[in-house]
Chain A
Amino acid sequence: MSDPATALVPAATLAAITGPGVLQLVIYLAVLLAFVKPLGWYMARVLEGNPGEAPLGLGRALGWLERGIYSLGGVQADAEKRPVETGWKPYAAGILVFNALGFIAVYGLQRLQSVLPANPAGLGPVEAKSAFNTAISFATNTNWQGYGGETTMSYLTQMLGLGVQNFLSAATGIAVLAALIRGLSRKSAGTIGNCWADLTRSTLYILVPLSVILAVALVSQGVVQTFRGPARVALIVPLSYSEPVKNDAGEVIKNADGSDQIRTVEVTEQSIPLGPAASQIAIKQLGTNGGGFFNVNSAHPLENPTALSNFLQVLAILLIPAALCWTFGEMVCDRRQGWAVLAAMLVIFVPLLAATYALEARGNPTVAALGVDTTANLGELGGNMEGKEARLGVANAALWATATTAASNGSVNAMHDSFTPLGGLIPMWLMQLGEVVFGGVGSGLYGMLMFVIVAVFVAGLMVGRAPEYLGKKIEPFEMKMAMVCVLVPCALVLVGTAVAVLTPDAYTTSNPGPHGFSQILYAFSSAGNNNGSAFAGLTANTPFYNIALGLAMWFSRFWIIVPVLAVAGSLAAKRVSATTSGTLPTHTPVFVLMLVAVVVIVGALTFVPALALGPVVEHLQLVGK
């Protein structure tokens, strides 16, 4: 099925598509793919290793810490001092307890930050419902932000609460994926791993080292990393404005003639928020978290200052999710399987990336009608530049928008709300696909593997074989769990949006009509798929959204993790069927096509009516004018 967006682009001028723009996208994909094998191989070694074992000397360097964590946490060990593996139920219980504790910690830190240290700006406690929302958001790897970071969170909350959860929620994703892969590769086994070991090892040997490297690289580009409070800087051109004078009660003081009393305010300096940003941004990108240190995320010059920092960050978004495909192939001892899944992701991602770029480069017809030149020429990036950084331009904004929604990252370097209707439809639809095109760290691949189960089932029937994947028979139980994983996010998005549009308080959109509807749909697509990006126009820091989106994030995360682990347990216990010439191979282009079709068709059929009432109608109204 062709993407509905491209089908609707008239063959008009694609005004601002430029050679360098296209080249940047090509280079990006090439560099990303170059990292897949080495990083994938490394992660496989980490996930299969015993305590103190990790390649590149990291095991020797950090093994003491790993063992220390196990003994401190009282992790049961066998005679050879390896953590004892468990079945899927204890594993799932461990993951749930661990994440619940994470939620409590983040909530507590926010509420108590005013009395805790590392709060140079003297910020007060975060409002309860907002804190609830944020705590779930960071525990579920969503990083939806209803607040502005620099004006809400103390440094301690940012680092110990949000920063730590950035690591641990990503580690949760990797751990669950590792358990599922073991379920697929083991024969007649009762265990799928030890969740504490998986969490510890993926944090210690994968996320921390990569973050350190990226943070240092980002600091070199000028991303701030400091504990100093906001810097006060003299304005180059002082600014003055008038405002009514108010008394202590906030009432405007009147002049004798009844008019407002006005005073002129002279501004000579500004306050620039600083903080330990680089370290948090590194993991925000690598862990597909996306929660920015500053409110405007990576559109902020101190969060994303240069072209190189932009490239590194957008690379980091897809780095681990793409490489995990190789890890998967490596761990099931059939690398072709990993390539096939990666190929399916790319087959969806690349056309959508190209379409987003084309749509944004084409610009906004309303703007063009005003006589504004939106073509790219010397010194002008061209295209639809509303809401985009002049430093970065359309190509980078399109790349980031596609990557951040393909992966469940959610960080932004441009405001998706200001994209053209169809240009904004693509990021929204990428989330609605269930965050399985790359998706979150670990969660993207385990979500995709649930779609693989569905694809294998239908494909198996079509060739007259009882469906099996990697030799494991797909039976009613696996099917039930896979369908829960597919259904839960769809239901959360559709029902959440339906409740919101009927709640008068929830219409806090910046626009009426279809665009306002898109903003609400986008918010629930984001929360219901643990992405965290936002159509900025929606005022989401309201009691309704804090609670509704918070619940959506929680259910979407754990109502998928538990069924995935159940599938892992059920598959691990199965025998492995031998491969014969009658077996349906799952690494062939035909199967990749089948998988793509299942993902795209389920995503399209579920959301076409909703999308038609939002971005599609908005687009048609725009071009119809």
Chain B
Amino acid sequence: MAGFDKVVASYEEAMVGLEDDMTVLAGGFGLCGIPENLIAEIKRKGTKGLTIVSNNCGVDGFGLGILLEDKQVRKMVSSYVGENALFEKQLLDGELEVELTPQGTLAEKMRAGGAGIPAFYTATGVGTPVAEGKETKEFNGREYLLEEAIVGDFAIVKGWKADRYGNVVYRHTAQNFNPLAATAGKITVVEVEEIVEIGELDPAHIHTPGIYVDRVVLGTFEKRIEKRTVKTAE
């Protein structure tokens, strides 16, 4: 049964094989559901020239933002960036390249990458700067853009619970891009808050089946809140 045991003992082991100039897909939306310790491990390793595919790029000092500090990121593929001053500076200085991608297209690029679909047509972005240089085709009288799938050398994912076989469930909206990134990594690493015994998770409630997952590591999380909004007393 050890063949299905995906659990590794350390973050160092979790990111073995990550090399300069690789492409890394990261789950998370804003700071919600980001693989914060796997990102910290990439910083510790000092891997450079990375292409990071993630909806956002963290903030100054937290999340993917920390990979900018030692200029480890060559290119970001994201839908919304610039919540951090360092990002802005490196972009304006030409040290960082950004490929802005509509959020739904980004999600679908990962989904398609994981599902073995090399490209897909979407109406999103037709007639906008996103369409520049892309093939278009008409279906039923409407114009669509051809968008290519994305596959990563690594996918880094934040789950809530996993079993030793790498079956993962996510908690609340920390799901976001995580299950998509999980399908599209040549090596998919999932860090979780809890590792449970085989059979504890309801098979019908698994978000990411273990077939997509190569390594599982147990972590503790800060879970920083980007915009703390609370109900005012009535």
A binds B: no
